[in-house]
Amino acid sequence: MGRSPCCSKEGLNRGAWTALEDKILAAYIKAHGEGKWRNLPKRAGLKRCGKSCRLRWLNYLRPDIKRGNISHDEEELIIRLHNLLGNRWSLIAGRLPGRTDNEIKNYWNTTLGKKAKTQSSSPPPAEQTALSRSRNKKMTIEPKTAEPPSFHVIRTKAIRCTKVLIPAVPSPQEHHSFNSTAIDPLEPQALQSQDKDNFEVHHLGSEEVHETCAGDSDFFSLSCNEFQASYEYAGGDYNFNNNMSPHLDETMFKDWATNYSLDEERANLDLESLAFLLDYQEWP
């Protein structure tokens, strides 16, 4: 279908933003909130296209933007996430609070990409992946695979799906099928046999929910996140919290808890443990 340009180019400012423009945009969004980008410039009195305003806000003006150098932990996380997700910068950025997809993309293109290339061109010892090697500066978790480092891309274009169709009250049969579907990606024996205690689920953004229906590996992330959100840890046991996730029930939780023997440590969010999780190359 035909597609008109997002804005007429005539009479609009382009290039670097001035301090005044920043001020106007920030003030407008503060007063009216985000969204309606197409009309925003006109209403705010900016000679910019809506896209440009959105970008400026998201990448620079947002109050929660974290400025400054990417930490070592962040860097390692980016590498792992890129290994898992490919160039899906927004998904990667979703795991790095305060970092933007543009920032991460730039950082990858200027720094990490080269590192990764260098590492893959001079293969590491067979039993170590590039990722685990870099992490070994701080972590002692054994790599799980003897395969050479691979930076394969799952798909280059993120596919979003904003509708997740999950039955509100699954039948017992549905429990079973949902359960197996949800857990299978995690099921590879590697997770069961190796270092289970280090396994935990990091916070996942809503994007994962979207990704789920696309049927790719992120489904696993959703499943674990959903489970984690649905059960409260109390005195050594996890209790099913009926209020939090209506489409998960106690049966499902018990199956899951039995399989993966939860403990309190796993409830903690921790970059390094996520990194460990991401080391599992069986992920598609």
Binding residues for DNA, rule: CB under 7 A, are: 1-6, 9, 13-17, 35-39, 48, 50-52, 54-56, 59-60, 87-91, 101-103, 105-107, 109-111, 156-163, 207
Our CB check for DNA shows the closer of 212 and 230 to be: 212
Our CB check for DNA shows the closer of 262 and 278 to be: 278
Our CB check for DNA shows the closer of 46 and 201 to be: 46
C-alpha closest to that of 185 among 131, 224, 137, 231: 224
CA distance 173 to 179: 10
Q: How many residues does the chain have?
A: 284
Minimum CB–partner distance for residue 165 and DNA (Å): 12
Minimum CB–partner distance for residue 236 and DNA (Å): 39
Minimum CB–partner distance for residue 178 and DNA (Å): 21
Our CB check for DNA shows the closer of 162 and 189 to be: 162
Our CB check for DNA shows the closer of 89 and 260 to be: 89
Minimum CB–partner distance for residue 76 and DNA (Å): 17
Minimum CB–partner distance for residue 111 and DNA (Å): 5
C-alpha closest to that of 89 among 68, 76, 106: 106
Report the half-sphere exposure of 180 (CA within 13 A, side-chain side).
5
Q: Exposed, middle or buried: residue 45 (CB in 10 Å: 0-12, 13-18, 19+)?
A: exposed
CA distance 206 to 229: 13
Give Dmax (Cα) for the chain: 65
Query: In the chain, where do the E strands start and end?
Result: 231-234, 237-240
